[in-house]
Structure 1
């Protein structure tokens, strides 16, 4: 009887601790980083292309742009927020990718938060990614979901090679190989 009580008590304690760790944001973010996988390339037959590049973006820590200015270039677009645990989990990996590819790939990080909030978050985490607020409606191809993070890798022809909702390991060898390949073309 005492053994059964101790076993049940121990199981309950383990369950409560596990749930507490998952609820605690830093632990949840660490766990998300451990299980983040490289994003997959869309099958050729399933790929969609950007139809309308007319999308006004207000730069929070960079110049304002119209998305039409990046037509013909390799572009990485990420919709995110400072309060989003999966966003927080993938940003260190994206920062590393950005550090190595910022002169070859156009990076666009879109949030609906103000610069004060983003700036505090960036300073705390040593990020320097180019952040924008959307002034007009993004291309329809980016609007399939309202979930964040949502990320897109667009080739020079406007085809979306990678479309990923949720945290991903954007700094993987697989992703870097894909980017290197499309930069050659």
Structure 2
């Protein structure tokens, strides 16, 4: 018995739906889709629309338990990324963030912030061989930086202007981002 084209499409759709329902296959499929969406570079906010970081009053700790005061980031170029290990868009954009961190870690203050348990974060970093500075919040996130959706990444100038504010997966290792960082470092 030969299947019609519409029947073949229905079978493929049903298989795809089943794969998305099964927890073990859902996340890899979602990450794959998000990687396709994360090929685009984030947009730089027009200067007239850039908001100031309203407060540097924020305390975090790194994965070694060392306290970090966000005031240390004042007057520096900062890339702040809110993420989680279970978040497909976060996983999809992480390689581009890691590559950017590798090249700019001595010039830009990178803060990868997650609310997850330390053991979960460490296992994720080890699994992917990532060496990035992950922090956990110890106090309330300043109002302009607060987010309820991840990933959210902000590029902040030395003067405290939010130059890029992107929610969702993006290509952070793009020419646009690198050019913007170089301009911010030169200010």
TM over 0.5: yes
Instruction: Verify the 8 A CA contact 1:38 1:170 in the aligned structure 2.
Output: yes
Work out the CA distance in 2 between the residues paired with 1:78 and 1:156. Answer: 17
- 1:68 maps onto 2:71 in alignment: yes
Q: Which structure 2 residues correspond to residues 92-131 of structure 1 after superposition, within 5 A?
A: 92-131=95-134
Which consecutive aligned stretches of 4+ in structure 1 deviate over 3 angstroms post-superposition? 17-23
Aligned match of 1:90: 93
- 1:152 maps onto 2:154 in alignment: yes
Work out the CA distance in 1 between the residues paired with 2:119 and 2:136. Answer: 13
Work out the CA distance in 1 between the residues paired with 2:82 and 2:63. Answer: 14
Aligned match of 2:44: 41
Return 5+ residue gaps in structure 2 as ranges.
Answer: none
Q: Secondary structure at the match of 2:144?
A: helix
- Kindly state the Cα deviation for residue 20 of structure 1 after the two structures are TM-superposed: 4.7
Return 5+ residue gaps in structure 1 as ranges.
Answer: none
Q: Give the alignment partner of residue 13 of structure 1, picking from 3, 11, 14.
A: 11
Aligned match of 2:139: 136
Aligned match of 2:166: 164
Work out the CA distance in 2 between the residues paired with 1:22 and 1:42. Answer: 35
Count of residues in correspondence between the two structures: 182
Work out the CA distance in 1 between the residues paired with 2:129 and 2:139. Answer: 29
Question: TM-score scaled by structure 1?
Answer: 0.92
Question: TM-score scaled by structure 2?
Answer: 0.91
Task: Rate the CA distance shift 1:68–1:90 in 2: closer, same or farther, 3 A.
Answer: same
- Kindly state the Cα deviation for residue 60 of structure 1 after the two structures are TM-superposed: 1.2
- Kindly state the Cα deviation for residue 99 of structure 1 after the two structures are TM-superposed: 0.4
Aligned match of 1:32: 34
- Kindly state the Cα deviation for residue 177 of structure 1 after the two structures are TM-superposed: 0.8
Q: Give the CA RMSD over aligned residues.
A: 1.7
Work out the CA distance in 2 between the residues paired with 1:90 and 1:54. Answer: 28
